[in-house]
Amino acid sequence: MKLSILDRLLFLAAGLLSGYIIAFGIEDFELPVMTAFTISFGVMLLASLMIIIIGYEILENSSVVIAATLVPLGLALGLVILKFPQWFIPYLIFALVGFFGVVFTHFKNNTGKAGVITLALTHAISGLTIVALPIYSVAIGQSRFGFVYVAVGGSLIGLGGLLLMFIKLKKPILSVEIVMKALPWILTLMMFFFSLGLRYAYQ
């Protein structure tokens, strides 16, 4: 499917927002948080640029599934270290097991039932972390209300991920055309909410 000019502009906006977060949005955080967020938003930045340059065909590459796992994992890990550092090591172990599980089960497209379960579990846990953690953090008065915007971005990442996953599994909820039309909007809005929400990370 060909990208329209509007699609390209939206991907560019998503890429620029990712770049903005990497350069300026995470400066005040500790090194482990900064590293985790850089990995996550770095993949977003590169994904936006490569979709603009190569088109949606890049999504068919087997390594995209592996790279895409880094987005929610990096973000979730960064949020956990930022707000609940006591969970750093257990969550890091989960992130590493999840990531290498996806690498192992998806290398050279050798996906079976194990691959689907590993991918779904990794995305589900990290996705839920991105949505629930900011809400909980605000609810207990640990962060300002605006931090909830990260959860909004997390919901969008989950929505985009689910739509793409069902297409990959050949059981689409919506038609491929609709999903591909919605994807640039979802990514741009997602990056907008992340960049906004991270500004309210501290009380």
Partner 1 sequence: MLNIVKTKIKLYMPLIKSMQTGLLMTTGVAGYMSARCPISSPWTMVGLILSLFLSISGSTVLNMWWDRDIDAKMGRTSKRPLVTGAMTENEALRLGLILSLMGVGLAVWMDALYGLIIFGGIFVDVVIYSMWLKRKTAWGIVWGGVSGGMPILAGRALGFGSIDWIGITLALSILFWIPTHTLTFSMKFFEDYKKAGVPTFPSTYGFKVTRIAIAVSSVLAAIAIGASAMGIGVIVGYMRILIVLSIGLLTLALMSVFNPTEKVNFGLFKYASLYMLGSMLLMMI
Closer residue to partner 1 in complex, CB, 55/146 = 55
Residue with Cβ nearer partner 1 (49 or 92): 49
Nearer to partner 1, 16 or 120 (CB): 16
Minimum CB–partner distance for residue 134 and partner 1 (Å)? 23
Distance between CA atoms of 49 and 194, rounded to whole angstroms?
19
Amino acid found at 41: F
Residues that bind partner 1 (CB under 8 A): 19, 22-24, 27, 34, 38, 42, 45-46, 49-50, 53-55, 57-58, 61, 63
Q: How far is the CB of 47 from partner 1 (least distance, A)?
A: 9
* φ, ψ (nearest 5 deg) of residue 172: -65, 140
Q: Which residues contact 157 (CB under 8 A, 6 or more apart)?
A: 71, 72, 75, 127, 130, 190
- Angle between helix axes 148-168 and 176-197 (nearest 10 degrees) is 160
CB of 22 to partner 1, least distance (A): 5
Amino acid sitting at position 123: H
- Closest approach, Cβ 108 to partner 1, in A, equals 10
Smallest Cα–Cα separation from 72: which of 87, 52, 91?
91
Between 45 and 187, name the residue whose CB sits nearer to partner 1. Answer: 45
